[in-house]
Amino acid sequence: MKIGFIGLGIMGRPMAKNLVKAGHELVVFDFNKEAVADLVSCGAKAAESGKELAGQVEVVITMVPNSPHVRSAVLGKDGVAEGAKEGLVLIDMSSIDPTESKAISAECEKYGIQMLDAPVSGGEPKAIDGTLSVMVGGKKELFDKYYDMLMVMAGSVVYVGEIGSGNVAKLANQIIVAANIAAVSEAFTFAKKAGTDPQLVYQAIRGGLAGSTVMDAKVPMILARNFKPGFRIDLHIKDLNNALNAAHAVSSPVPLTGQLMEIMQGLKADGHEKEDHSSIVKYYEKIANTTVE
């Protein structure tokens, strides 16, 4: 399959590489020339713009930071829409506001472009090994057509519903992940402050009801003081902002999400926004005057 890929960041670059490894023809575009050169060295072809890229492929994947970047890449000057042929399919794998997914899809229809929103969960490690979780919104027949291609990058690809539903699922995921990391951070800060070895507490509770994928991924990082980003605080702030906006649009109260946003804003104020979201523990360490290690 001939695929265009726009957005070769922490997540996009390994995702694109997995598509090349699977034998797909890839045309790539990113403002980061080093990232583009890396993909070209793996067998991809470079384009100078989204417009140029769109004219060469049957499907375009976008993997960019937020709603305005998707809108710019697709509908802006020299964007995908300017170079699209009738019947082009856009699969936006960015994590954005679901109301914007619907709006961008409606604009794309004017150019004969069909769209799926297909955000991912799993962070950089799962992007590298091709085991991301992908949640997809849009027409079911499009989902069925591109399912196998998406599975090249994923461990699971699930159809959620109409356009925008993928991002609703992703925002629900991000609320749960942030709340889970915060609960873990609060609990292990308490254990440390109480004079109990947090490593032994982890071993004692990870097999019970409190155990979770988040705990197993983040507690070892916290104990090793390894905050190299798999998923950055500033990106989680972006997702929680989208969650708050989308929830308020449908009158769904999200009080925990609001509190989590304030915790992350505090971390940003302290200069931790480029660190992994496991740095939430630093908020608790600061107010408890201790270090979990």
Report DSSP state, residue 85. Answer: P
Last residue within a domain, chosen from 162, 188, 210: 162
Last residue within a domain, chosen from 121, 138, 162: 162
Its domain, for residue 184, covers 168-288
Query: What gap in Å lies between CA 164 and CA 118, rounded to an integer?
Result: 9
Is 16 found in the same domain as 126? Answer: yes
Query: What gap in Å lies between CA 259 and CA 239, rounded to an integer?
Result: 14
| pLDDT value at residue 230 | 81
Q: For 174-216, how does the pLDDT look when each residue is reduced to its tens digit (9 = 90+)?
A: 999 999 999 999 999 999 999 999 999 999 999 999 999 999 9
Is 175 found in the same domain as 59? Answer: no
Among 277, 237, 266, which residue's Cα sits nearest to residue 66?
A: 237
Q: List, in sequence order, the alpha helices (H) in the chain.
A: 12-21, 33-42, 50-54, 67-75, 80-83, 98-109, 123-129, 140-151, 165-193, 198-205, 213-223, 233-249, 255-269, 280-288
Q: For 54-82, how does the pLDDT look when each residue is reduced to its tens digit (9 = 90+)?
A: 999 999 999 999 999 999 999 999 999 99
Is 191 found in the same domain as 117? Answer: no
CB 3 within 8 A of CB 59: yes
Distant-in-sequence contacts of 129-134, Cβ < 8 A, 24+ apart: 130/18, 130/154, 130/155, 131/155, 132/15, 133/158, 133/173, 134/93, 134/158, 134/166
Q: Give the gyration radius of the chain's Cα atoms.
A: 20
Phi-psi region of 123 (alpha: psi -120 to 50; beta: other; left: phi over 0): left
pTM equals 0.89
Please report whether residue 293 resides in a domain. Answer: no
| pLDDT value at residue 284 | 98
DSSP H or E run through 60: strand 59-62
Is 190 found in the same domain as 146? Answer: no
Q: Residues in the chain with pLDDT < 50?
A: none
Please report whether residue 87 resides in a domain. Answer: yes
State the amino acid at position 185 in one-letter form. S
Q: How many domains does the chain have?
A: 2
Catalytically annotated residues:
170
Is 283 found in the same domain as 182? Answer: yes
Is 193 found in the same domain as 77? Answer: no
- Which CATH number goes with the domain that contains 253? 1.10.1040.10
Query: What gap in Å lies between CA 19 and CA 15, rounded to an integer?
Result: 7
Is 242 found in the same domain as 275? Answer: yes
| pLDDT value at residue 124 | 87
